[in-house]
Amino acid sequence: MSETTVKNATAATYAAFIGSGFAFASWASRIPQVRDSLDLDPAALGLVLLAIAAGSLVALPLSGPVVTRIGSARTVMAMAVVLAVGVLTVAFGSLVGVAPVVVGLFLLGFGNGAWDVAMNVQGTVVERRLGRSIMARFHAGFSLGTVAGALLGAALVALDVPVAAHLAVVALLVVAVVPAYARRFVPDHDESEPAEQVAKSSPLTAWREPRTLLIGLFVLAFAFAEGVGNDWISVAAIDGHHVPAALGTLAFAAFLTAMTVGRWFGPGLLDRYGRVPVVRVLAVIGVAGVALFVFGPTPYYAFAGTLLWGLGVALGFPVGMSAGGDDPRRAAARVSVIASIGYCAFLAGPPAIGFLGDRISVLRALASVAVLLGIAALIATTVRPLTPAEPTRAEETLTPAA
């Protein structure tokens, strides 16, 4: 495969990650206006937003078999259309009522979930073709996409651009740009391998692989730490450390900045020192950051804690995706399983902290993040790269006798 082809696939994978982040943040930036236009109270809004989670939960387990059958390129192209239809439906619903919004958000969640697995599979393929770590930078691209979507949304709110017009343009951009780039993806497996060998086992067997499940637990710990940081740092800083609202938002921005910087510069460390030492050290740094944020005596310690927290969680999720894709024949199934387990933390983390926060305060509840990061440090060896012989042994162990 030519160097130009791999470079084109790398750029296309960046486009898929950036486009996914941009589309999701564009919708999220208009949630307050949709809430106001439909006159939703907090409880009703929470129920409406559950439609995204429902769509993702349906899509994630199905995405492994789908990507295995049709490939990551076609999956991303198809899911870009599904997501765009969802965004258009939300745009229509913002004008007429709640029901279309719920349907649109379900489609958005479904499209985003399968798209996420497919682009991570392609990320592992590109990483192998390049011969160096790059997955974390793809995830940094997702972060940049969310920032761009949020900034555009804020600007359009300030200009009083209607929600429906904004979301309709976003949907059209997604359909026009993402599939065009996805056509440049490289095949998910070595084209010299016989097709029957690539698909000789059911994608569902990945749910019975101990290594895959342990990687899923590893990713879940980091996803919990990342999701809780996204949702609760500003609240905990304001309520727990009694800083002004603007400084609470600044603490959240510091967390995001540290995580993005870690994802951009982390691949060099992974290539130099290896996955296990790097993610283990970062997990320990994350534990220290959470402890400093929760138990620091002044807001200055808390701000330092957010930086360490963000840096500590930067590489866990992308390294887990890379580990799931070590064997190209099983990458789609394994990445699907790992993503499904990991995304449970994104969905369950916020309400879990809220439940604990009602009893011991939100700030103290965040100590649970340190516990999970400690577990991730202990099981970090599970993301060690596979040797060429290991995938075969795992498949032989898990394949039922004839």
- Specify the higher pLDDT residue, 289 or 346: 289
3 state SS of 52: helix
Residue for token digits 């996204």?
230
Enter the CATH code of domain 3-185.
1.20.1250.20
- Under the banding of pLDDT at 50, 70 and 90, the label for residue 265 is very high
Provide CB contacts within 8 A for 189, sequence distance 6+.
Answer: 198, 328, 329, 331
- Specify the higher pLDDT residue, 49 or 219: 219
Percent of the chain with pLDDT over 90: 51
Domain map (residue ranges) of the chain: 3-185, 203-398
3 state SS of 97: coil
Written as six digits, the tokens of 58 are 């349906």
Q: Over the stretch 192-218, which tens digit does the pLDDT of each residue have?
A: 554 444 444 556 788 889 999 999 999
When pLDDT is averaged across residues 174-196 and rounded to a whole number, the result is 80
Cα-trace Rg, the chain: 21
Q: Over the stretch 74-113, which tens digit does the pLDDT of each residue have?
A: 999 999 999 999 999 999 999 999 999 999 999 999 999 9
Written as six digits, the tokens of 177 are 């740009």
Q: Over the stretch 43-55, which tens digit does the pLDDT of each residue have?
A: 787 788 888 888 9
Q: Are 24 and 146 in contact (CB under 8 A)?
A: yes
Distance CA 279, CA 287 (A): 12
Long-range (24+ apart) CB contacts under 8 A made by 1-8 are: 1/129, 1/186, 5/186, 6/126, 6/129, 6/130, 6/186, 8/184
When pLDDT is averaged across residues 272-289 and rounded to a whole number, the result is 96
Domain 203-398 falls under CATH 1.20.1250.20: yes
Percent of the chain with pLDDT over 70: 92
3 state SS of 153: helix
Mean per-residue pLDDT over the chain, rounded: 87
Q: How many CA atoms lie within 13 A of 71 on its CB side?
A: 15
Distance CA 179, CA 348 (A): 32
The pLDDT of residue 231:
74
The alpha-helical segments, DSSP class H, found in 316-389 are: 316-324, 331-360, 362-365, 367-378
Statement: residue 146 has pLDDT above 80: yes
The pLDDT of residue 199:
47
Identify which of 34, 7, 117 has the alpha carbon closest to the alpha carbon of residue 71: 117
Distance CA 70, CA 249 (A): 43
Identify which of 91, 89, 120 has the alpha carbon closest to the alpha carbon of residue 106: 89
Widest pairwise Cα distance in the chain = 66
- Under the banding of pLDDT at 50, 70 and 90, the label for residue 163 is very high
Q: Over the stretch 222-234, which tens digit does the pLDDT of each residue have?
A: 999 988 887 788 8
The pLDDT of residue 44:
81
Q: Cα torsion at 206, 210, 214, 220 (round to 10°)?
A: 40
203-398 matches 3-185 in CATH topology = yes
The pLDDT of residue 191:
56
SS3 labels along 172-226: HHHHHHHHHHHCCCCCCCCCCCCHHHHCCCCHHHHHHCHHHHHHHHHHHHHHHHH
Q: Are 225 and 284 in contact (CB under 8 A)?
A: no
pTM confidence score: 0.81
Residue for token digits 């969310």?
146
